Each structure stands twice: as structure tokens, then as C-alpha cells.
Structure 1
Amino acid sequence: MRKKTLMALMFSATLAVSAAVSPMAAAHASEAPQDAGSAGIAMKISTKGLADCPIDHICVWENTNFSGRMGAFPPVFTGECRTFSIGYLSAYNRTVWRERLWRSSSCTGGNVIIYPGGQLILANRSYSVGAWP
């Protein structure tokens, strides 16, 4: 019985620590550009397209029409930049914030604004997402 109680306490402590150091908190701690693969941001093969994008996330796909590998991440705030080494050609903003989709991997140069609820197919591959303004 003691062993089960100890195991339950250890599991609860692990969950508490995991919640305290979430990928969202870690992602917002740094203003340096981060690659989706190294920032704890979900990268997966999308089979459903738009339906795969979680609420309160920005999602980007490597191909047009919301197909191929998908990156999903929480809103990017002012001064932050997220990079995607695979590049993307379609994007969906399921947050309440305006975001900028940048052609470069450092949130500089050509960009387009994606508004809350917006879905975009891009003519040129883009590599980063940064906050409005």
C-alpha cells in the first residue's frame, strides 16, 4: 500500500512540474528566433488539414491547401519570432491576435498579416512567424 501511495505522489509531482514548465511558457521566455522542432512546438503529419489546428494556435503547413507537415504553436507575442526550417505555404490563425508571416527565417523582410480566424495560401514559401506590429 505504501508503494502505491508513493508512486501516486511521484506521478502527481511529475505532472505539477510538467505543468509549471510547459512548452508555451518556455516558448515565450526567449525572444530569439526558435525552430519549431527545438521549441517544444508540435510538428506532425497532417491528414485532416484545418481540423488538425488546435484552438488558440497558429498553424502552418508545408504545402498549399493545408496539407503536409504541420506546425502548431501558441500565439507569438511582440518581440518574439518562431522559425520553421521546412518552410510553409499555407497558414491558419486560430488565435485572437494578428500575426505576421515572414519570408525570412528571422522575422525580417517581406511579410503578410494574418488576422484572427484567417486562412492563407501563400505564393512563396515562408519561414517564420512574428507578432504584430
Structure 2
Amino acid sequence: MVNRIRRIVLAGAAATLVMSGLTAQVAAADPPCYSGEVCVYRDGALLDKFPPVRPGQCRTLGKYYDRIWNRSGNVQRTWYTGGCTGGNQLVYHGENKYIFSVSVGGF
């Protein structure tokens, strides 16, 4: 009986340690990309998130990103270079596009 109680206590302690480790991992995760936001990622990590860029305006990030997720209701244009110049692609509402770019402009 004592051995059985000891095993139950040890199992509970082990479960507590495992659960506390999982909680720490969730807390360290990137913040979510909410509806109405445009989020850019690099190597799977959130680099920046912001409201949609308005038509005629440009947002140049300090670093290249390799994925953009447009959760806004506005079409965005992703530019391969800073200053919203050069080659670009449209990113429609809800689109999660893998693309190596540095700036975002409204469309």
C-alpha cells in the first residue's frame, strides 16, 4: 500500500513538472495575428504586426521577411525592396504567402 501511494505521489509530481514546462512554452510563443492585422514573419518567428497599410502609403521594415499573413480586409502589396519600389505581389485578405520581401504598401 505504501509503495502504491508513493508511486501515485511521484506520478503527480512528474505530471506537474511536465505541465509547468508546457505552460512556459506556450507563454514564450509569438503573439497571435488577429483579424484586422497584417503580420510578417522571418524563419517562422513573428517579425512585426500592424494595421493594413492604406493605398498610396508605404511601410518599410528594417529587416527582410519571408512570409506575410494578411488578416485585414484590405488588399496589400508586398514589395521586394525598401521604399515600396521594384517588383511586388498582391496579398489578398486571408492570404498567408511565403515571399521574401522588405516593405508593404496599400492597394
TM-score (structure 1 length as normaliser): 0.56
- Tell whether 2:49 aligns with 1:72: yes
2:37 — aligned with what? Answer: 57
* Higher share of residues assigned helix: 2
Q: Which has the higher contact order (CA 8 A, sep 6+)?
A: 2
Matched residues in 2 for 1:69 and 1:86: separation? Answer: 12
Q: Tell me, which stretches of 5 or more residues in structure 2 are unaligned?
A: 1-27
Shift of 1:70: 2.1
User: Could you tell me whether the CA contact under 8 Å between 2:72 and 2:93 is conserved in 1?
Assistant: yes
User: Could you tell me whether the CA contact under 8 Å between 2:39 and 2:46 is conserved in 1?
Assistant: no
- Tell whether 2:101 aligns with 1:130: no
Matched residues in 1 for 2:92 and 2:52: separation? Answer: 12
2:60 — aligned with what? Answer: 83
Equivalenced residues, count: 80
3-state DSSP of counterpart to 1:106: helix
Matched residues in 2 for 1:68 and 1:118: separation? Answer: 17
Matched residues in 2 for 1:112 and 1:75: separation? Answer: 15
- Tell whether 2:107 aligns with 1:121: no
Matched residues in 1 for 2:45 and 2:93: separation? Answer: 22
The superposition leaves residues 67-122 of structure 1 with CA deviations (integer Å, 9 ceiling, x where unpaired) of 12421000100111111111100010001111000011100101010000001011
> What is the aligned-residue identity percentage?
34
Q: Which has the larger radius of gyration?
A: 2
Runs (4 or more) in structure 1 with deviation over 4 Å come to: none
Residue type of the partner of 1:47?
A
Matched residues in 2 for 1:86 and 1:69: separation? Answer: 12
